[in-house]
Amino acid sequence: MKAIIIPSIATVVSLALAWAVIRALAKKLNLNKKQTILTFCGVALVLYFGGAGVYFGAYYHATEEARSYLNSTEQVRVTPIRSGYLFDGPGEAHAMIFYPGAKVDEVAYAELMHSLAAEGLDCFLVRMPLHMAFLGKGTAGTIQSEYDYPHWYMGGHSLGGAIGAIYCAEHSADFDGVALLAAFASKKLPDTMSLVSIVGSNDQVLNWDSYRGNQVNNPQDAQEFVIEGGNHCQFGDYGMQKGDGTAQISREAQLDQTVPAIMEMIE
């Protein structure tokens, strides 16, 4: 959330400076009050949409290796769908809807989805508007209305996990469990729901105080799995994330521990 607040402060400062400049010009050009206000509104709109375009237009891109996992194999068929991608493996009973982290290209999680699907958990990788999960929180409901599985799970990384957990809390009857990667539930989840929380010990993006404080919202039998030497960004494949800690294990090693931890919850 810090990254969202900072542009807002910058916008306020910019608008204050713009108002001061416009008032000075209005006196020189003999503009009346209405003309001055209209000029300011025009400048404000330019600053707002220009700033928003710059902010949301900058995001973490998936690597070329990550994109290679959009190709189907004998085990997993990858299909583009309206809301993202479906990774359809040999399983038929279990499916997970996955929300990406903030400002991260959803394809960065393609290898994780491919690996889970190969283990029997079909995965829906969601494409979020402007790469922000809170703008597409209800996408899970749309997917569930279009596909039929006996058992549904929610998964997500960072902000995507937090938003997914909120959606699960509001629609708890529709899900059997939640897999949170470097994320936490800010609303109470019922004890009837399974939950696995997977974090990297070197994660410096996750707010650890909030993570610990919100564990009261976890189901009674929630499981926590700490990947020693793992960090925040290695749950996906999009390069180093600003502010993150340096991983002491490879991304592949972190993935190799993430997949069985999620599958253990499913099984």
Determine contact, residues 65/21, Cβ cutoff 8 Å. Answer: no
d(CA 245, CA 243): 7
Q: At a CB cut-off of 8 Å and minimum separation 6, what does 45 contact?
A: none
d(CA 110, CA 42): 42
Residues 160 and 219 in one domain: yes
Domain that holds residue 25: 2-57
CB atoms within 10 A of CB 74: 7
Backbone angles phi, psi at 17, to 5 degrees: -65, -40
Q: Would you state the structure tokens that stand for residue 24, as one six-digit string?
A: 């000075």
* CATH code of 123's domain: 3.40.50.1820
pTM over 0.75: yes
Residues 29 and 93 in one domain: no
What integer best gives the mean pLDDT of the chain?
88
Residues 110 and 199 in one domain: yes
pLDDT at residue 35 tops 80: no
Q: Which of 109, 130, 102 is nearest to 242 (CA)?
A: 102
pLDDT at residue 119 tops 90: yes
d(CA 94, CA 96): 7
Q: Give the pLDDT of residue 12.
A: 63
Identify the three-state secondary structure at position 154.
strand
Domain-ending residue, one of 41, 57, 73 = 57
Domain count, the chain: 2
Nearest-Å Rg of the Cα atoms of the chain is: 22
Q: Give the pLDDT of residue 266.
A: 92
Q: Give the pLDDT of residue 24.
A: 65
d(CA 87, CA 76): 6
Q: Which of 44, 40, 54 is nearest to 7 (CA)?
A: 54
